[in-house]
Chain A
Amino acid sequence: MSDDYEPQSAVAKWIDKRLPIITLFSGHLMQFPTPKNLNYWWTFGGILTFCLITQIITGLVLAMHYIADANLAFASVEHIMRDVNYGWLLRYIHANGASMFFIAVYLHMARSLFYGSYKEPRELIWIIGVFIFLLMIATAFMGYVLPWGQMSFWGATVITNLFSAVPFFGEAITNWLWGDYSVSGALLTRFFTLHYLMPFLIFGLVILHIWALHVPGNNNPEGIDVVKGQDTVPFHPHYVVKDVLALVVFMIVFAGLVFFSPNILGHSDNYIQANPLQTPEHIVPEWYFLPFYAILRAIPDKLGGVIAMVSAIAILAFIPWLDTSKVRSSKYRPLYRQFYWLLIVDFILLGYLGSQSATGIYLILGRLATLYYFLHFILVMPLIGFIEKPKPLPKSISEPVLTKEEQLTKSGQMA
C-alpha cells in the first residue's frame, strides 16, 4: 500500500532513507486503501483518537495545578475553577471529555457488534479494543476520585471494597490497595499516579489497535471482503474529510456540554469535600458505568455480584468465538438483527436501572436485564449462527449501490 510512495523533497528523501517514517505515515494515513462504502458509524475511531488526545492534553495542564493530597486536593480543584486562568474551561473539558469519550466508545463498540467487525480476521483488533475499554474504565474511575469530593470518596470506597469479596484474601487485598485501613490520602496519591500513567498505556494499545486494523483493512457495512483498487479509495482525502465532518458535529455537542451545562452529567454531591464519617444518601457512579453497576446489584450475593460485573466486560473478549455465524454484517442477518437491537435496549435499560435504587420493580427488572445480557452472548449468539438463514450477500460492495441506482432509474422512467 505504501510501496508506490516516493518522498519528493531532498530533505524528505534523506530522512526517509534512514527512518522511513514519512512512508509509514503516508502509507497509513494518506494512501491507505479504505472500502468506499463506509458510513458515519465508521468515524468514531477518529473521534476516539481525538478524545484521547484531548484528555491527555487537558489532563497534563490540570496536573500543573492539582495537588494530590487528601487535605489539599479538594481546595486545589476549587483553585483551578476560580483562580487559574481558564481553569474552569480546562477542567470542564476534561470532565465532560470523559463522558464524550464513553459516548463515542459505546457507539464504536455497537458499530463493531452490528457489522461483525470482530469476526475473522479481525478478532485481535476487537480483543485489543476490549483491553482499551477496560483501561478506560479504570482511568475514568480513578480520575473521578481525584477531586476528593463526597462522590469521589465514597465511590472509591465502594469500588475498592469489591475486592474484599475475594475469599480469604479479601481484607489483605483491600488494605494493600488502600495503603491504609480505609480509603485515605495514600489511595489518592497512588490513584493520581495511575490516572496519569494509564492514558499513555491506552495510547500504546491504540497504536496496536490501528496496526492490527491495517493488516486486514477496514470491515464495511456489507461485511464482505473488498477487492483492493476496485472497492477501495485512499484514506486521504475521502475519509479524512468524512472523519473531520463527523468530528466537528461531535465537537459541537461536546462544546454544548462544556459551555452550557458542564455539570449536568456530574453529581452535585461531589462539590462537598470528602467526609469519611458521612456517606451521601444516594451513591451512583458516573453515568457510563451505570449498566455494569446495575449488573453488580442484580446479584444478591457479594462475591457473585462482583464476578457478574467483571464477567460482563470479560465476556466481550470471547465474542469472536461466541458468534458462530459465517456472515459478518447484521444487514444480512434478519434474525440476529432483532436480538442485536434487543441487546442495545437491554443495555440502555440496565443503565437506567443502575441510576435507580435497587428495590421492588427496579430490582426485578435489573435481574431480568442482567439475565438477557449474558444470555445474548452465551446462548443467542452461538445458536443463531446455526439456525439463521442469512440473506444473500452481494458479490461486491458496489452491487447494492448499483442495484439501488438501477431501481431509481427504473422508477424514474416509470414516473
Chain B
Amino acid sequence: MDTKKDIDTADTKVTRRDFLYLTTGSFTAVGAGALVWPFIAQMNPDASVKAMASTEVDLSPIMPGQSITILWRGKPVFVRRRTEEEIAEAQAVKQADLPDPETDETRVQKPEWLVMVGVCTHLGCIPLGNKGEYNGWFCPCHGSHYDISGRIRKGPAPKNLEIPSYVFLDDNTIKIG
C-alpha cells in the first residue's frame, strides 16, 4: 500500500477508510445500544405490575373527620374526609409559614376530600394520623410534622406529602392512578 500518499492526503481529504471506520463504528454503537437496552428495560415495572397501577376507592362509608388508608402501587394512600373546621384551618395557613409553600386549594379537588400518598418525604416511613403539633400527621421515624393539608411544617422532611393523580368517577368514587 502507498502509505506516503495516505499521509499526504490525510489532513485534507476524507478517505474511503475514514468513511468505513465511521459507518462501522456508528452501526456498532447503535447495534450495541439496541442490544443492551432489553437487558436494562427488563428491570422496569412489567406489564403485570402496570395492570395493577390504578385503584378505585368507594368513599361512601367515610364520615367527616375520618381517614382511611388504602394500598396503591404498594404504597399507602390516605383518604381523609375533612370537617368544615379542618378545611378552614388548612385554608387559613399563611404561605410564609410553609417550608414548601402550597395553598390548600391546589392540593385538593374537593375541599372535603384530602387524598395523598402516605409516605413521608424524608426517608419513606408512614406518618401517623391525628398526631403532631399541627393537628395533622406525624412521622415517628425522624419527627416530621404535617398539617391537616398534609403540608410539611416542622422536621427534616423537605416536601409536602405527595398528591397522587386521581379522578372522581362519581360523587362517591375516586380512581387513583
Interface residues of A (CB under 8 A from B): 57, 61, 64-65, 79, 82-87, 89-90
A27 and B93 CA atoms in complex are apart in Å by: 73
Q: Are B47 and A61 in contact (CB under 8 A)?
A: no
Residues in B with CB closer than 8 Å to A64 are 42-43
CB distance from A134 to the nearest CB of B (A): 29
**Can you name 4 extra interface pairs (CB under 8 A) apart from A86-B37, A86-B39, A90-B38?**
A83-B48, A84-B46, A86-B41, A89-B38
A85 and B48 CA atoms in complex are apart in Å by: 10
Q: Are B39 and A61 in contact (CB under 8 A)?
A: yes
A84 and B44 CA atoms in complex are apart in Å by: 8
Q: Are B42 and A65 in contact (CB under 8 A)?
A: yes
* 22 contacting pairs across A/B (C-beta < 8 A): A61-B39, A61-B42, A64-B43, A79-B46, A79-B48, A82-B47, A83-B46, A83-B48, A83-B49, A84-B42, A84-B47, A85-B42, A85-B43, A85-B46, A85-B47, A86-B38, A86-B39, A86-B42, A87-B42, A87-B46, A90-B38, A90-B39
Q: How many residues of B contact A (CB 8 A)?
A: 11
A257 and B37 CA atoms in complex are apart in Å by: 20
CB distance from A46 to the nearest CB of B (A): 17
Residues in B with CB closer than 8 Å to A89 are 38
Interface residues of B (CB under 8 A from A): 37-39, 41-44, 46-49
A64 and B37 CA atoms in complex are apart in Å by: 16
A87 and B41 CA atoms in complex are apart in Å by: 9
CB distance from A85 to the nearest CB of B (A): 4
Residues in A with CB closer than 8 Å to B48 are 79, 83
Q: Are A85 and B39 in contact (CB under 8 A)?
A: no
Q: Which of B42, B47, B48 counts the most chain A CB atoms within 10 A?
A: B42
Residues in B with CB closer than 8 Å to A82 are 47
Residues in A with CB closer than 8 Å to B41 are 85-86
Residues in A with CB closer than 8 Å to B44 are 85
A79 and B49 CA atoms in complex are apart in Å by: 11
Q: Which of B44, B46, B49 counts the most chain A CB atoms within 10 A?
A: B46
A65 and B41 CA atoms in complex are apart in Å by: 13
A85 and B49 CA atoms in complex are apart in Å by: 11
**Least CB separation from B49: chain A residue:** A83
**Least CB separation from B47: chain A residue:** A83
CB distance from B125 to the nearest CB of A (A): 28
Residues in A with CB closer than 8 Å to B37 are 86
**Least CB separation from A58: chain B residue:** B39
Q: Which of A65, A79, A83, A85 contacts B38 (CB 8 A)?
A: A85
Q: Are B39 and A57 in contact (CB under 8 A)?
A: yes
A84 and B41 CA atoms in complex are apart in Å by: 9
CB distance from A75 to the nearest CB of B (A): 11
CB distance from B17 to the nearest CB of A (A): 14
